[in-house]
Structures are given as structure tokens and as C-alpha cells.
Amino acid sequence: MNASSIARDVASGKVSAQEVLSRHLGSIRVSEPQVGAFIRVMETEAMAMAKAVDEKRRQGARLGRLAGVPVALKDNLQVSGVETTCGSRILQGHVAAYDAAVVKRLKSEDAVLLGKTNMDEFAMGSSTENSSFHPTKNPWNLGCVPGGSSGGSAAAVTCGMASLALGSDTGGSIRQPAAFCGLVGLKPSYGRVSRYGLVAFASSLDQIGPLSRTTEDAALALSILAGPDAQDSTCSKKSVPDYSAVLGQGVKGLRVGLPKEYFLPGLDAEVEGSVRGAVEVLRQLGAEICEVSLPHTRYAVAAYYILAPAEASSNLARYDGVRYGRRSPSARNLEELYELSRGEGFGPEVKRRILLGTYVLSAGYCDAYYNRASRVRGLIRQDFKEVFKKVDLLATPTAPTAAFRLGEKSSDPVSMYLSDVFTIPSSMAGNASLSIPCGVNRAGLPIGLQLIADDFQEQTLLRAASAFEKAKPFPRPEKFSS
């Protein structure tokens, strides 16, 4: 069952929150040993939450919009009293002292928090192989990656271990796993959802959003997560529309642009065929389709891998073995404490990005790299602003390929980085973006269609995605394969 159906059934008394939780815990016992979606299952805490929901209903109190819905949380979201590691050894043993803003909102709507999901360390990766604990496998094919960095959240929802999950998206970390696992993955506009309590990777890019089986669930989740927050100065004060109200409106009259820069040699032929087929479905449903151009797209990946590591280098400087996190037992002085704690605590990809970020911010190089990349980012954002004067939505592939094999790109960082080539531009611009499954390849792996809208136009994304979903329902994986 999807999250919306569970909430309705729990509220009506058709099923209890404890029964729903027991079914999901049963799924975890069966699937988790093969998939590895979780770092930590919060069984005791979840059962207490489910009991509280059932007691609330018994007393006749009003239930929240996610009553009894088991929700999984990416392990970079703080939950008070629960260890938060960000998939890194350097944060092992760090127990959160407070709830993230989104966690507070889930709790206020009677969600049942199921556990913390696996992720690429500090959200740096595209395959969930960079976790310090274990890789996560794709439920569609256990020999393939689920995408990253929110791969644990995607895998948990795909095989029924959770009904809904939250991830974070800096350059594609919600949308790419959604594409690889056949889910709806929504990256809200920058500032639409509070980042308070999200462990920072790149503060000007990070955004929290849902991974779900349906657009109905994505709309419900965003309605709860979105809105102003005084504890996050970057969070927008704009009012939150009723995202669920637009789901039945269809796409008739919407103008959908196909950016020519996203359909170039190197794009997998099966991916291109599925995406163009999906666009044809939108045309048949009444959307107007036209070709558009985003000329600075070609510079997006290069600029991103200057700006994001620079921000990461700054954000990760706080992990020094002094205040919290791992402290090396071998250090004999302060300098060794810094070197050994960070050297032992951070994995190879995180070290790579810290080194890159520190370099581009260093004296003599900041103008040549960081400042120039910042100007390129402005040009990319301007491209989107201009194109959204002509169209309501953009339709593109979410990723250039379907899920790749475990280990296939581990030794080639540049190839791994290019997995996000189609998601990075809208992250740089701060636009709302969504991935929805639009087909499977010959190997039986899902393919994702990315829809991009202007700032704070998530309702347009959800309207189009819902219409497509109804016209072309997507199957669930029936059993694991390898």
C-alpha cells in the first residue's frame, strides 16, 4: 500500500498503526539482509509511535495526515536521541540532541519513523557504495546499484520496507536513485523545505525531499514538509499551496520544452527512447511540446564540482576530533589529533572532495576557479529563467543510463560524477525537479523521466507527473534478481 492509502485506512480504523508497522518490519526481516537499505532500524521507537497513534484514534482525537505511515529517513537527518552518522565513521557514536525540522513535521502528522537509511558518506556519491558501513543493492537487480546518495531510502521504498522515505538532493541524490529504482523522487525548489537539522554537504545546494511510489504520496509529503522555518534563514516565507489539489487537472494546455542539450551522443539509446515515448504520452494528453535550449548546460558539471566541494570543504572542517565525532586514540598532540581523526574517519571520496574544495578556495586560485564557477552558475540560472518565460515545464532524462553494476564505476570518479549530468543543472539553478519512472530497459531496469519547473512551481510538476502516471502505470519488482 502507498502512504496515502495507509493514512486513510488507519484514520478510518480499517487497520491499526501497529499492524501496518508489523507488516513493514516483516518486510525488513525478509529483504534487508539482501538489500542493505538501512544503517539502523528503530524498531522500539517505531512501535512506541505506532501504539501512540492507535491510542490517539481510540480516544477519538484527530489524527495527522501521515497517521501510522512508516517513514524511513536518510541518515543525515537528525532524530533526537538516535545516532546520526551520515554514512561515515567519523560520526559513529554521535547521538542527535534535537529533531530536524522535517522530522518534527513528520511527528506532528503522526508518522511512524522506521529507521535511518544507508547513504554515500556525507551524501557524496551516486551509487551508495561510498557508505562506510556497507553498499546498498538495487531491489530490481541485486547486482546493480540503487543510485546515490539517497540509495538506502530508494531501496527501502522499492521493496516495501518503508511506505515513504526522505532523502536529500544536492546534485541529484533524490532524483537519480528514484530513476534507478522506479520511484517518484521530488527535489523541491531551494528554500521550499527547511534544512534545519540536515547535516550539511553544500549549503547553497542541499534540499530535502520525498521518495515515494506515487505522485499522490509525493504531494502529501511535500504539503507537510514545505513551509517557512525561523530556524533556517534560507527557507522561503512563501505560503504552501495544496499540492494534492492539482493531481487531477491533467496537462492540457501546458507547454513542455525539450532542451536539446540533454539529448546528445552518449545518452543511452533505451533511455532516450523511453523518455521520448513519455513525452509523446504527454503530447497525447494535451501538452504542447517544443524544443528549447539551455546553452550553458555544458558547463554545469564542471562548475558543480568546483562549488560543491568548496562548500563541503568548509562544512566538514568542523569534524576535527575535538567537539564531537571520532577522536583518534593514537594522537599525541593537537596536530596529530586533527590529522588522525580526519584521516581515519573520512573515506576516500570525502577526502577527494575536501582536497579539491580546499584547493579551489586557496589563495591564488579562488578567482580562477571558485569565483569563475560562481559566475557560470549565474549564467545557468539565467538560462532557466529565460526558458521558463516560454514553457511551463522541461522534460529530460533523469540519468544517462539505467542502474549500473556494483563496482562498475568505483575506480573512475569522473564516470561516476557524470551519472548526475542531467540533474546537476537544475540543482545549480535551484529549480523544482522530479523524476518519475517511464519505462524499463531490456535488462528489466527502470528508466526515469525528469520534469523541471520554475522556482516554487512544484504543483505544476506534480500535476504533469500525476497525469503521466495515470496514463502509464508503472509495475513494482516482483522478486529480486541478480
> Which positions are catalytic?
74, 149, 173
Query: 238: buried, middle or exposed (CB in 10 Å: 19+, 13-18, 0-12)?
Result: middle
Burial 13-30 (b: 16+ CB within 10 A, else e): eebbbbebbebbbebbee
Among all chains, which residue has been given the C-alpha cell 516560454?
390
SS3 144: strand
Residues in Cβ contact with 67 at an 8 Å cutoff, skipping those fewer than 6 apart = 7, 10, 11, 17, 53, 57, 109, 110, 111
Cell of 18: 501497529
SS3 478: coil
Give the separation between CA 319 and CA 328, rounded to whole angstroms: 12
C-alpha angle 388-448-171 in degrees, rounded to nearest 5: 65
- On whether the CB atoms of residues 102 and 55 are closer than 8 A, the answer is no
Q: Using N-to-C axis directions, what is the helix angle for 43-58 and 17-35, rounded to 10°? A: 160
Residue type, 405: R
